[in-house]
Structure 1
Amino acid sequence: MKNKEEKAIVVFSGGQDSTTCLFWATQRFASVEAVTFDYGQRHKLELECAASIARELGVKHHVLDMSLLNQLAPNALTRDDIAIEQMEGGLPTTFVDGRNLLFLSFAAVLAKQSGAKHIVTGVCETDFSGYPDCRDVFVKSLNVTLNLAMDYPFVIDTPLMWLDKAQTWALADELGALDYVREKTLTCYNGIIADGCGECPSCVLRKRGLDQYLSQKEAGGVR
């Protein structure tokens, strides 16, 4: 049931997780806006995809310039000369230092200015790729910090935090958005919409979760 008095800002990339969160938010809150960050990502199609989805869903869409992040934190998502790989004993080259810290902080500034008390993000600790800024403890800590910093009652909602990819697909299905999320979103590190390249870590994780969910659904054993 919708909360008729509350507004939410969704941190939105146009990928599987954030699009699922956008559907989740539109069914939960009376008013929803989306914010996408341009941080110099290699595939500008990500920005176009996010804008297209927001437009189709009738959601007001903000795009904020975060290009300084690319200068400060070189990574495989913004640099052609950095390979996408998991470093043994370290973080993946796709990790961007400070990204979720900055994204959520700027989303909070936007939220306060627009009168929204909820910030929705698709971070997940279950299937995350070793990113420290996807952890529940980080989100809860930042939530407290933002409330103190702006003297405002923010709530950072993380509907996917404890879901694996199969369960995230299940949630999309429950929201009536399974086909939409599968066909319209961009999760692939190589910039290919829908099922993607099938080879990058993001595509492998996405496909494994989808295959698992569809198998469970066919067997009648979904959640």
Structure 2
Amino acid sequence: MMPQKVVVIYSGGMDSYTVLHKAIADGHDVYALSFNYGQRHVKELECAAQVCRELGINHKVVDISAINQLLAGSSLTDNIEVPEGHYEAENMKSTIVPNRNMILISLAVGYADSIKAKAVYYGAHSGDHFIYPDCRPEFVEKMNAVCQIANYDPIDIVSPYLHESKIEILRDGLAMGLDYSKTWTCYNGRELACGKCGACQERLEAFALNKAKDPLPYE
């Protein structure tokens, strides 16, 4: 893709952090967009804001937490215990926020259209396919098709790591020299990462398989 203005949905986690830097490395004029949807791990938004300040890139944090009046039943937003274990476990389905990515992408596309950006980037990857329907290739393909016709100007939906694992995402980021101490992954909203939830376990596994040390402190 030729260098152009793009919107990156930037949560502050390690996947979107890598996507953000990939878009920058590809020469794009990046506008970062983060959402407060009432997630208990709101610490990730603090990481996102700090990174964007350091990089000097345009960053918006939008509060859409009111939608939780409609979207119930997720352990990320409701008073439900965050499950422990690997993402392939059935109990990890409690971390699904109903329709989250469709909502976030739709808002990001509206923002992209308003600033005349040509694409929206988000960090779906193959490790999410089992649990999260809105991270699967068929979802991205159909969202991209819709976003070609939703406005007068087509907007591309780009997921550069859609067919790669978190292990491969981290490998790419380490090759770019990225500092992952500037990211937050844990689903629990405590001072230190728990090391036990699916997000932590997948992160720790990615570092281990890349023979690297995770710079985050854990409980």
User: What's the TM-score, normalizing by structure 2?
Assistant: 0.87
The 3 A distance-change label for structure 1 pair 139 and 48 is same
8 Å CA contact retained: 1:46, 1:191: no
Paired position in structure 2 for 1:157: 158
SS at match of 1:32: strand
The 3 A distance-change label for structure 1 pair 18 and 78 is same
SS at match of 1:92: helix
Q: Which amino acid aligns with 2:75?
A: A
Paired position in structure 1 for 2:174: 173
Q: Which amino acid aligns with 2:59?
A: H
Question: Where in structure 1 do 4 or more consecutive aligned residues deviate above 3 Å?
Answer: 86-91, 126-129, 191-194
Alpha-carbon separation, structure 2, partners of 1:210 and 1:88:
21
Question: 1:207: Cα distance to partner?
Answer: 0.5
Paired position in structure 2 for 1:211: 208
| Counterpart selection for 1:52 from 50, 72, 78 | 50
8 Å CA contact retained: 1:118, 1:155: yes
Structure 2 portions without partners, runs of 5+: 213-219
Task: Say if 2:62 is the partner of 1:64.
Answer: yes
**Mean alpha-carbon deviation: is it higher for 87-96 or for 120-129?**
87-96
8 Å CA contact retained: 2:126, 2:162: yes
Equivalenced residue count is: 208
8 Å CA contact retained: 2:92, 2:198: no
- Comparing both chains, which one has the higher relative contact order based on Cα–Cα distances under 8 Å and sequence gaps of 6 or more? 2
The 3 A distance-change label for structure 1 pair 128 and 10 is same
Alpha-carbon separation, structure 1, partners of 2:191 and 2:17:
13
Q: What do the CA deviations read for 1:156-180 (whole angstroms, capped 9, x no partner)? A: 1111111112111111022221xx1
8 Å CA contact retained: 1:119, 1:155: yes
The 3 A distance-change label for structure 1 pair 56 and 101 is same
Structure 1 portions without partners, runs of 5+: 216-223
Q: Which amino acid aligns with 1:20?
A: T
8 Å CA contact retained: 1:165, 1:210: no
Identity of aligned residues (%): 36
Alpha-carbon separation, structure 2, partners of 1:88 and 1:193:
26
Question: 1:88: Cα distance to partner?
Answer: 7.3
Q: What's the C-alpha RMSD, in Å, of the aligned pairs? A: 2.2
8 Å CA contact retained: 1:83, 1:93: no
Question: 1:10: Cα distance to partner?
Answer: 0.4
Task: Say if 2:132 is the partner of 1:144.
Answer: no
Q: Which amino acid aligns with 1:22?
A: L
SS at match of 1:70: helix
Alpha-carbon separation, structure 2, partners of 1:58 and 1:135:
32
Q: Which amino acid aligns with 2:197?
A: C
8 Å CA contact retained: 2:5, 2:118: yes
8 Å CA contact retained: 1:118, 1:154: yes
The 3 A distance-change label for structure 1 pair 65 and 197 is same
SS at match of 2:112: helix
8 Å CA contact retained: 1:69, 1:99: no
User: What's the TM-score, normalizing by structure 1?
Assistant: 0.85
